[in-house]
Amino acid sequence: MRFVDEYRDPTAARALVAQITALAGDDHFKFMEVCGGHTHTIYRHGIEHVLPPSIELVHGPGCPVCVIPMGRVDDAMWVARQPGVIFTSFGDMMRVPGSQGNLLKAKAEGADIRFVYSPLDALRVAADNPGREVVFFAVGFETTAPSTALTLLQARDRGIRNFRVFSNHVTIVPPLKAILESPDLRLDGFLGPGHVSTVIGQRPYRFVPAQYGKPLVTAGFEPLDILQTIFMLLGQIREGRCEVENQYSRVVREEGNPKALAVLGEVFELRPHFEWRGLGFISQSALKLRHEFAAFDAEVRYELPGIRVADPKACQCGEVLKGVIKPWECKVFGTACTPETPIGTCMVSSEGACAAYYNFGRMHREAAVTLGRMRPVPA
Amino acid sequence: MCLGIPGQLVELSTGHEHLARVDVSGVTRVVNIGLLEDEHLQPGDWVLIHVGFAMSKIDEEEASLALESLKMMGQAFGDELEAFRLSKISPVA
């Protein structure tokens, strides 16, 4: 526990908040935390309540469950219902709503849908069921895409021909660009994603300061990591610097994981376009299997309906994902849309901004007081 | 799925060069360590695991931090640990 206490030390937190407050002065700063894991830390520990009013945090698109559009869930359900198919998925995806229900519903109606922990478990199902077609619902950013890639290489090398991948892997840089191009959002910098950066490293973010003049600091997941990252962002701005920096250097390396990047390049190529929930179509933002792996590609094997389904009108996930509105400002937040009956994807994943608010928002004041005992907030 | 969970290497597989037994919060399962082959992992080392693959080598301090944070997530970590417990990764012949 010694280690943990160091990263949640109220004295250190108080000192950092004082420095942040002093650096910010009378100005107002808006920083986006890109990664859903950071969003979770921020709400879990009540960080917004210990920050001065001059610092506003907005939540970004870095939750892979949250950005899957309804049409892809519909396609997944369609594949799962094909005769002879065993459809495998991470547990997180089972409750993500399509336009006609979710994978749990399809399973209840008789489709053979199985949760797996890993794509390697899906490959094992394929090896154990040679007479069936086993489809793996691949989702996630660069954090999970190398795992799918290595699994495909194993399938190929071991001749497991009844294994297919329905790839919905996405990449983190294009949505950042889309957000930076978005006219309705003014940001002063980014808290860069942690785990994705262990794979891609720091170089892919250089366009953020170079082309858009915004600093980006890759952040760890502890409360003090978040505070220190905000301090580093402000420090850059006040010193007139604009760079990519790494607060999470105890895990993230400048060059990322070259082996993982090589495997990604071997198996995947960029799609011309991919639809993101709430963000619309973004060019070269997602990964499809290379031609050499066509035999394993569910999109080649099946003629997917590929129908584009508009997001529900009431749902404002898009604005939440771009940080334009806060989760509680959505019309259906906490009323029609809850973690038990989500309308939007942001309410499904525990790392989605809406679910994080819903689960921990009510604890904010108490958590903030516990973390720092720095600004007791009247109830 | 998006949670990185810390595990400690118990044993490197002799049959398959890229598999290793790891202990996550008292649950021992097999994961793939192929993406960290340059790290020359040894029993006792800590790694951050995503969906059955060790993605980064970490130190004991980081492992302890990550585990405490995950425990605070409550059900989300419970679900992830249960999924890990059900995992049957093993060499595919």
What CATH number did the domain enclosing B78 receive? 2.30.30.140
> Does position A348 have pLDDT exceeding 50, yes or no?
yes
* Parent domain of B80: 5-86
Q: How confident is the model at residue B65 (pLDDT cuts 50, 70, 90)?
A: confident
Which region among A87-91, A132-136, B10-14, B15-19 has the lowest average model confidence (pLDDT)? B15-19
Q: How confident is the model at residue B93 (pLDDT cuts 50, 70, 90)?
A: very low
Measure the CA–CA gap between A289 and A149, rounded to whole angstroms: 9
Measure the CA–CA gap between A314 and A327, rounded to whole angstroms: 13
Which pLDDT tens digit goes with each residue over A188-199? 999 999 999 999
> Does position A378 have pLDDT exceeding 60, yes or no?
no
What residues pair up with B46 in beta bridges, in sequence order? B8, B58
Which pLDDT tens digit goes with each residue over A24-41? 999 999 999 999 889 988
Top-level CATH class of A70-172+258-301? alpha beta
**In-domain check, residue B92:** no
Contact A216, A189 (CB under 8 A): yes
- Overall number of domains in chain B: 1
Which pLDDT tens digit goes with each residue over A69-87? 899 999 999 999 999 999 9
Q: Is any Cβ of chain A less than 8 angstroms from the Cβ of B14? A: no
Residue A243's closest CA among A217, A280, A281?
A: A217
User: Which chain B residues are closer than 8 Å to A121 by Cβ?
Assistant: 52, 87-89
Task: Please indicate whether, in this complex, the C-beta atoms of A41 and B89 are within 8 angstroms of each other.
Answer: no
Q: How confident is the model at residue A374 (pLDDT cuts 50, 70, 90)?
A: very low
Measure the CA–CA gap between A303 and A17, rounded to whole angstroms: 55
**In-domain check, residue B93:** no
Contact A80, A103 (CB under 8 A): yes
> Does position A184 have pLDDT exceeding 50, yes or no?
yes
User: Which chain A residues are closer than 8 Å to B89 by Cβ?
Assistant: 118, 120-121, 124
pLDDT, position B57: 95
Q: In one letter, which amino acid is A263?
A: V
**In-domain check, residue B21:** yes
Which pLDDT tens digit goes with each residue over A230-245? 999 999 999 999 999 9
- Which residues 22-41 in chain A show a CB within 8 A of chain B? 36-37, 40-41
Q: Does domain A2-63+183-246 have CATH number 3.40.50.2300?
A: no
Task: Please indicate whether, in this complex, the C-beta atoms of B52 and A118 are within 8 angstroms of each other.
Answer: yes
- Percent pLDDT > 90 in chain A is 65
Average pLDDT over residues A144-151: 97
Q: Tokens for A44?
A: 């879990």
Distance from CA of A45 to the nearest CA of B (A): 10
Task: Please indicate whether, in this complex, the C-beta atoms of B51 and A7 are within 8 angstroms of each other.
Answer: no
Instruction: Give the position of tokens 């700063």.
Output: A29
Strand (E) or helix (H) holding A218: strand A216-218
Chain A and chain B share a number of CB contacts under 8 A equal to 134
Q: Cβ atoms within 10 A of the Cβ of A272, count?
A: 10
Measure the CA–CA gap between A251 and A242, rounded to whole angstroms: 23
Q: Tokens for A376?
A: 């007791």
Q: How confident is the model at residue A363 (pLDDT cuts 50, 70, 90)?
A: low
User: Which chain A residues are closer than 8 Å to B52 by Cβ?
Assistant: 117-121, 147
Q: List chain A domain ranges.
A: 2-63+183-246, 70-172+258-301
> Does position B2 have pLDDT exceeding 80, yes or no?
no
> Does position A345 have pLDDT exceeding 70, yes or no?
yes
Distance from CA of B4 to the nearest CA of A (A): 8
Average pLDDT over residues B71-79: 82
Q: What is the mean pLDDT of chain A?
A: 90
ipTM score over 0.90, yes or no: yes
Task: Please indicate whether, in this complex, the C-beta atoms of A195 and B87 are within 8 angstroms of each other.
Answer: no
Residue A255's closest CA among A209, A208, A200?
A: A200
Q: What is the DSSP letter of A214?
A: -
pLDDT, position A365: 44
Q: By CA distance, what is B60's nearest residue in A?
A: A3
Q: Cβ atoms within 10 A of the Cβ of A21, count?
A: 15
Of residues A369 and A270, the one with the higher pLDDT is A270
Q: How confident is the model at residue A359 (pLDDT cuts 50, 70, 90)?
A: confident
Kindly compute the dihedral angle of the four CA atoms of residues A30, A34, A35, A41, in this order, to the nearest 10 degrees.
-10
Which pLDDT tens digit goes with each residue over A242-295? 999 999 999 999 999 999 999 999 999 999 999 998 888 999 999 999 999 999
pTM here?
0.91
Q: How confident is the model at residue A64 (pLDDT cuts 50, 70, 90)?
A: confident
Q: Cβ atoms within 10 A of the Cβ of A161, count?
A: 13
> Does position A356 have pLDDT exceeding 70, yes or no?
yes
Of residues B69 and B54, the one with the higher pLDDT is B54
Q: How confident is the model at residue A131 (pLDDT cuts 50, 70, 90)?
A: very high
**In-domain check, residue B70:** yes
Measure the CA–CA gap between A283 and A275, rounded to whole angstroms: 9
Length of chain A counted residue by residue = 379
- Which of B16, B69, B73 to probe by mutation at the A interface, max A CB count within 10 Å? B69
- Which of A95, A114, A117 to probe by mutation at the B interface, max B CB count within 10 Å? A117
